[in-house]
Amino acid sequence: MSNSSRADGRTPNQLRPISFEANIAPHATGSVLVSFGHTRVICGATIEARVPGWMRAQNVSGGWLTAEYSMLPYSTHDRKQRDSSRGKLDGRSVEIQRLIGRSLRAVIDLQKLGQHTLWLDCDVLQADGGTRTASITGAYIAARLAVQTLLDSGKLKENPIKDSIGAVSVGIVDGVALLDLPYTEDRDAEVDANIVMTGGGQFVEVQSSGEESTFSPDQLTAMLGLATGGLKEIAALQTAFLTKQLLGNIGSLGSLGS
């Protein structure tokens, strides 16, 4: 592979085109359709005025956040069987929804959320690599829109979101470190990684593994450098989109890491 171009014409450090469309699910408290190239995920945030039974039983203060992730049957070239028809979640879905939940809890003050549960539902409409990273990036926006709804109605007194959160994939393909891999690159990658970072530049999670291969410290450093640059761009896109959606009410946005 050339150091300067890829199959889709991007340079190694270039993100796919990213876009957000708000209010894609009108009955959710906040929602967004997030697109990373041909990967498209519907992220819905629903806030309920109750907490899980285990919190009530143990007198745990504050609120809770939980996430669910699924791939719609037609999101891939070959129809994917629904987890509900199989009678259980597959291991990959469980892993990803736990990752989404951990990522969002890293930037949300559950005490300030009060006696509420924030549900994040991420449904993959079209899969072309990076569905988990797109889900995290979109789930943050959906959560921020949902929280604003409660702030505007007076049901929350303070914004519980401390910072933005985003995620992106990186990898080594033909010996070259690449940012934001589509499926064809992800399939052929010698090394595959997913990086989650706050808008303020703090890592939340670094998932990296060799696919029947190993990688050097220099290659890991190169991947982290690509991810850091890409995630700064993603944080800026999130901030710009939310500022527009919230009618320029910058004061109410809180810390977005821009």
Which sequence spans correspond to the domains of the chain? 18-77+91-251
What is the rounded CA–CA span in Å between residue 19 and residue 103?
Answer: 21
**Per-residue buried b or exposed e for 117-142, using 16+ beta carbons within 10 Å of the residue's own CB:** bbbbbbbbbbbbbbbbbbbbbbbbbb
pTM higher than 0.85, yes or no? yes
Under DSSP, is residue 243 helix (H, G, I), strand (E, B) or coil? helix
Q: What is the C-alpha to C-alpha distance for residues 182 and 133, in angstroms, rounded to an integer? A: 12
> What percent of the chain stands above pLDDT 70?
90
Q: What is the distance between the alpha carbons of residues 193 and 41, in angstroms, rounded to a whole number?
A: 20
> Does the pLDDT at position 197 exceed 60?
yes
pLDDT tens, residue by residue, 4-42:
579 899 999 999 999 999 999 999 999 999 999 999 999
Give the pLDDT of residue 59: 86
Binding site for phosphate: which residues?
92, 130-132
Better pLDDT: 77 or 2: 77
Task: Tell me how far apart the alpha carbons of residues 45 and 228 are, in angstroms, rounded to a whole number.
Answer: 26
- Provide the phi-psi class of 257: left if phi over 0, else alpha when psi is between -120 and 50, else beta: left
Amino acid of residue 243:
T
Residues belonging to the binding site are 92, 130-132
Q: What's the whole-number average pLDDT of the chain? A: 90
Tell me, which fold does domain 18-77+91-251 have in CATH? Ribosomal Protein S5; domain 2 (3.30.230)
The sign of the CA dihedral 18, 23, 25, 28 is positive
The sign of the dihedral angle between the CA atoms of 105, 107, 109, 115 is: negative
What helix, strand, coil percent values describe the chain, rounded to 5? 35, 30, 35
Residue 258: which pLDDT band, with cuts at 50, 70 and 90? Answer: very low
The two structure tokens encoding residue 108? 């949300």
How far is CA 46 from each of CA 9, 55, 146, 175, rounded to the nearest angstrom?
A: 38, 19, 7, 43
Helices (H) and strands (E) in the chain, counts: 8, 9
Q: What does the pLDDT look like over 109-151, one tens digit per residue?
A: 999 999 999 999 999 999 999 999 999 999 999 999 999 999 9
* Per-residue confidence band for 257, with pLDDT thresholds at 50, 70 and 90: very low
Query: Residues 136, 166: contact at Cβ < 8 Å?
Result: yes
